[in-house]
């Protein structure tokens, strides 16, 4: 029987303090999470963790401007944040996630090396896959931030795990907190069976591209750029509807 991500994480202890292998923690550097904690963000391999994080940072760099405020939705164990932490254009970063070990690890190892610009928040969101003891329903969760407060929003491999009602709410919340000229960079799996629009469970969700674009428009977002394949998913950039 398949184990959920939550169950895999229960196999480890003190994950929030563990780093990769026997490597030391060098001064002025951000270490790497343990294999088990990395696995909660999609890979147990350090090489893949770094390649994906770097690829996303490069994509985001096209829209990053000096003084940027960034919201990382489902930030995991700092796969992208570790690169943004050293990007001087980012003056404010907020990341949130339902996995407490990821947030505790990021606060322990990324925040002290981000010059006071980064904040990671654990949100006790219910997820059968990631946080089955969560007390907050995703459809009731309000993103951290006032209206029109972020320049860049990130959802890397997030909508690949959200049920449809949750995805619609997250799109609407993204539109709410995004500045008028902001950008929302996200990825989806877009290979549902023929004739289906939105299928799967929290382990993997596939959405027909045209259906996802209509969901986004219903939430106040318009497609700004279709980036095609990115790290095995379909990456899209949205802006607020004018």
Task: Please answer whether residues 23 and 31 qualify as being in contact, where contact means their C-beta atoms are separated by less than 8 angstroms.
Answer: yes
Q: What are phi and psi of 64, to 5 degrees?
A: -75, 130
- Whether the predicted pLDDT of 121 surpasses 90: yes
Those residues with Cβ within 8 angstroms of residue 131's Cβ, 6 or more apart along the chain or in another chain? 6, 98, 99, 124, 125
Please give the structure tokens belonging to residue 45: 């391999």
Q: What are phi and psi of 2, to 5 degrees?
A: -65, 135
- Domain borders along the chain are 5-240
Q: Global pTM? A: 0.94
Q: What is the pLDDT of residues 65-98, one digit of tens each?
A: 999 999 999 999 999 999 999 999 999 999 999 9
To the nearest whole number, what is the mean pLDDT of the chain? 93
Distance between CA atoms of 186 and 171, rounded to whole angstroms? 10
11 HSE (CA, 13 A, CB side) = 11
Q: What sign has the CA pseudo-torsion 207, 44, 63, 123? A: positive
Task: Please answer whether residues 119 and 131 qualify as being in contact, where contact means their C-beta atoms are separated by less than 8 angstroms.
Answer: no
Of the two residues 9 and 160, the one the predictor is more confident about is: 160
Which architecture characterizes domain 5-240 according to CATH? 3-Layer(aba) Sandwich (3.40)
Q: What is the pLDDT of residues 122-175, one digit of tens each?
A: 999 999 989 999 999 999 999 999 999 999 999 999 999 999 999 999 999 999
């Amino acid at each position: 029987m398949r184990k959920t991500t939550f169950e895999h994480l229960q196999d480890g202890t003190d994950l929030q303090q563990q780093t990769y292998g026997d490597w030391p923690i060098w001064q002025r550097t951000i270490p790497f999470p343990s294999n088990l904690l990395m696995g909660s963000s999609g890979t147990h391999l350090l090489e893949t963790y770094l390649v994906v994080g770097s690829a996303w940072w490069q994509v985001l760099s096209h829209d990053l401007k000096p003084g940027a405020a960034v919201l990382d939705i489902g930030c995991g164990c700092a796969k992208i944040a570790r690169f943004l932490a050293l990007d001087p254009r980012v003056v404010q970063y907020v990341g949130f996630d339902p996995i407490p070990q990821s947030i505790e690890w990021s606060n322990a190892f990324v925040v002290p090396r981000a010059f006071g610009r980064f904040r990671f928040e654990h949100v006790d969101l219910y997820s059968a896959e990631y946080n089955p003891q969560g007390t907050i329903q995703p459809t009731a969760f309000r993103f951290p931030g006032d209206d029109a407060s972020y320049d860049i929003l990130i959802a890397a491999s997030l909508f690949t795990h959200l049920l449809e009602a949750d995805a619609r709410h997250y799109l609407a919340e993204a539109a709410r907190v995004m500045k008028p000229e902001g950008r929302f960079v996200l990825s989806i799996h877009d290979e549902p069976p023929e004739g289906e629009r939105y299928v799967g469970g929290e382990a993997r969700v596939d959405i027909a591209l045209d259906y996802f674009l209509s969901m986004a428009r219903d939430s106040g977002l318009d497609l700004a750029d279709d980036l095609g394949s990115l790290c095995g998913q379909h990456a899209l950039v949205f802006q607020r509807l004018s």
